[in-house]
Amino acid sequence: MASYALYPVPAFLSPAITESPSLSPLTLLFLTTGTALCSASANSLNMLYEPSTDAKMTRTRNRPLVRGLLSTRAAVMFAVATALTGVGALYFGVNPTVACLGGANIFIYAGMYTPMKAMSAANTWLGATASGDGSWRELLLASDGSSIGGWLMAGLLFAWQFPHFMALSWPIREEYKAAGLRMLAWTNPARNARVALRYSIAFIPLCVALCAAGVTEWSFAVTSLPVNGWLSGLFWASVWHLPVVMVLALLQKKGMWSRVWNSVMGSDEDEWEDDELDEMPVTPPAPRR
């Protein structure tokens, strides 16, 4: 929801945009529900594909299908039902483009990323793309794809996947190897560390870009710097990293606090708009012939 919430405040938009159905709470509810259902379907299909692999790892051996708490038939029915209702909610409650992205997310995660884990360590990049899909949907809903803020938020989510997963996979790299899943943690440990560092550093220019694009105040570039530089204890740092950066961005959204101040102090925005109109030069009418 961060990309949607960071869309410019109504004071900066034309009346035609602020009256758009895409900014309604009901549409946001359909977006959130549809996204959650699509995610549930993708994860269910992922677990259906690799129960034997999950059984070999401490991180996944307690999943319902591995423990026999859920039948394969029930899991398939749940995956299909959540996919249909999720894509349907996005189609009828949001728009067809966002619904297509929801369906594509299920296909990329379950149909491409999951089997690719046994083939190539490049699976992490594909999984990160699928995980950033939610921000692109929010972007298309809020701004019809025209706001750079949504693309930057998707970039933040994409970049965050790498330090988080590289740190997560490192302690259990031998389990990944025994399960036959190709992860950089055991196929190329040195590159595993370089990738984690590279994408951690990428957060700094992305946060500055949010300021330059007018999405947040410039103070965000300063307040996000200590969080982006927090690299000790990488896994737990990455768990808190993305939520803290998102919250800081929302708290320093461009124009938000000036609107709060105007509301508290009772400033009349209409009077300000009238003053601005009075200051605009008036072009005299052309003389009649």
Q: So what's the pLDDT on residue 17?
A: 41
Number of Cβ atoms within 10 Å of the Cβ of 145: 12
CB distance 116 to 181 below 8 Å: no
Q: Poorest-confidence range of 33-42, 149-158, 177-186, 249-258?
A: 249-258
Confidence of residue 6 (pLDDT cuts 50, 70, 90): low
Q: Poorest-confidence range of 65-74, 82-91, 173-182, 264-273?
A: 264-273
Bigger pLDDT: 97 vs 18: 97
pLDDT at 80 over 90: yes
Spell out the residues 6+ positions from residue 123 whose beta carbon is closer than 8 angstroms to its own. 113, 116, 117, 182, 183
Q: So what's the pLDDT on residue 19?
A: 45
Q: So what's the pLDDT on residue 279?
A: 47
Q: So what's the pLDDT on residue 139?
A: 59
- Nearest-angstrom CA–CA distance, 169 and 160: 14
Q: Among 93, 118, 123, which residue's Cα sits nearest to residue 108?
A: 123
pLDDT at 143 over 80: no
pLDDT at 269 over 90: no
Taking CA atoms, 122 is separated from 125, 143, 156, in Å, by 6, 32, 19
Q: Over range 57-67, report the average pLDDT.
A: 92
Query: Where do we find the tokens 């410039």?
Result: 218
Q: Over range 17-37, report the average pLDDT.
A: 73
Q: What average pLDDT does the structure give for the chain?
A: 79
- pLDDT tens digit sequence for 194-216: 998 899 888 889 989 988 888 78
pLDDT at 18 over 50: no
- Nearest-angstrom CA–CA distance, 284 and 92: 49
Q: So what's the pLDDT on residue 20?
A: 46
H helix runs in the chain, sequence order: 2-5, 15-18, 25-49, 51-54, 64-67, 72-93, 96-106, 114-116, 123-131, 133-143, 148-169, 173-179, 184-187, 189-212, 219-228, 234-251, 256-265, 269-279
- Nearest-angstrom CA–CA distance, 204 and 226: 10
Query: Where do we find the tokens 């034309």?
Result: 14
pTM passes above 0.75: no
Bigger pLDDT: 248 vs 123: 123
Q: So what's the pLDDT on residue 182?
A: 95
Bigger pLDDT: 31 vs 6: 31
Number of Cβ atoms within 10 Å of the Cβ of 118: 14
pLDDT at 30 over 80: yes
- pLDDT tens digit sequence for 245-268: 777 777 777 776 677 667 767 655
pLDDT at 167 over 80: yes
